[in-house]
Structure 1
Amino acid sequence: MTDQQQLWDAATAQAYDTPGQGMFSPEVLAPTVEVLSQLAAGGPAVEFAVGTGRVAVPLSEAGVQVSGIELSHAMIAVLREKVAEDQMRVVQGDMTTTTAGENFSLAFLVFNTIANLLTQDDQVRCFENAARQLAPGGCFVVELWVPQLRSLSPGRGGTLEVSEPGYLLVDTYDVLQQHVISHHVQFGPELSDGPAARIARTPHRYIWPSELDLMARLAGFELESRWADWDRSAFTAESRSHVSVYRLPSA
């Protein structure tokens, strides 16, 4: 089993969905589906790291033919509880090499997931893999957070990103390797029947927007649009995330 397979195991897959809340809330999903539907322009789409279908399922319900690529068997199993194979094709494999077909109008990779690839080479290969599967003029959409290195105090290697009842998120940085490990700490009365706290760690390689643009150019894409969020708000120096739309040349 690979490190990523161990990270996205059955327990994580079963706990991943939070219907109606957080990243599954209508406020998050509705603008995401609207933008992706418009960019698909009536053609088929492929989601890299489709997971449990958080975006793919409502996008399919909106009328877009969606296929998926997913490394985790456990995440695919949860997706299959929602949608059958004949309704949404999902290919198990790594998003740097696995293909779900050709001549897609849209490929998309959301919720910071390109950062799960821990080397620059693999991140470039992900762009190249998207380009291979798109039709001429097709676009690749990447949603990604902006590294918050300005939050690092001198001599400190980490930042507190979230502090709320029952949950802490602490990020620790290796700025030489562009690696960040997110430490998710859950605690409170709901855990009283077990350990006082639970901690999970997820590793990432962070990417600056300009570096992401260069990766896209190496794969033949040009940056078409960049917004701070799915509502198409302006991207600024203070934005903490971005939605970037890259397009291949037309035939």
Structure 2
Amino acid sequence: MVVAVFDSGFGGLSLLYEAMKKLEGCDFIYFADNENAPYGTKSIDEIKALSIDAVDFLASKADIIVIACNTATSAAVSDLREKFSIPIIGMEPAVNLGKDADGDILVIATPATIKGAKLNELLKKSNLNNKTHLLPMPKLVEFAQNMEFNSPNVKEYIKNQISKFNSKNISLLVLGCTHFNYFKDSFIDLMPNSKIVDGVDGTIRQIKRKIDELNSKGKNLDTKLLYYSSKKQKDINLITPFLSRLDKMAKI
């Protein structure tokens, strides 16, 4: 069973990191469209075209494709499922986890995800519009792509954005972009009383269900991983610093 994980850049590694631990016997392909990152500030039509191009490249190489990008899921997943026969699993902000939140909910994401119909549908379905605040944080994607996780510029940017809200009233922070998982330590410092969630675990559960549905059991004892950057196969060691950062974030 080969699972291809696609993102606009290195954010989707946060899903790959957990998937490699929890999906035994699977091989993985990670596709980062770094030449076209970030997606979050592009138009819907641009995001659709780039997503179709990426999935077209991966379709012959995998059994399941995971769109580990909230922005691409919001803009393109319906079109992708219509165009391709391969199972495609999208990723969404975990706003449904806010049903039991005592206080307000803050969703941080890219501008495209914030403006997209998908997020608004999720909030309406969960009846959470009245207690949810939406905050675009596009610069975090750029910081993550450049492996700038702890610089003064990063900390100042996050502080300035989060300070637009009274953090004491926020009981749940939803990371609506996979790139944002690299900055959990900064969010915890600024919002120590808020629970922080993302869509990774929910997406992995969907992958597991699809694997079971396909009646496929992984038999590989050693997981294989290939890394592509905008269709060009690259040295897997290039993503090691990102995985190391995610390992650190998982332990806090």
Q: Is TM (by shorter chain) over 0.5?
A: no
Report the structure, 1 or 2, having the larger helix content: 2
Q: Which has the higher contact order (CA 8 A, sep 6+)?
A: 2
- TM-score normalised per structure 2: 0.39
- TM-score scaled by length of structure 1: 0.39
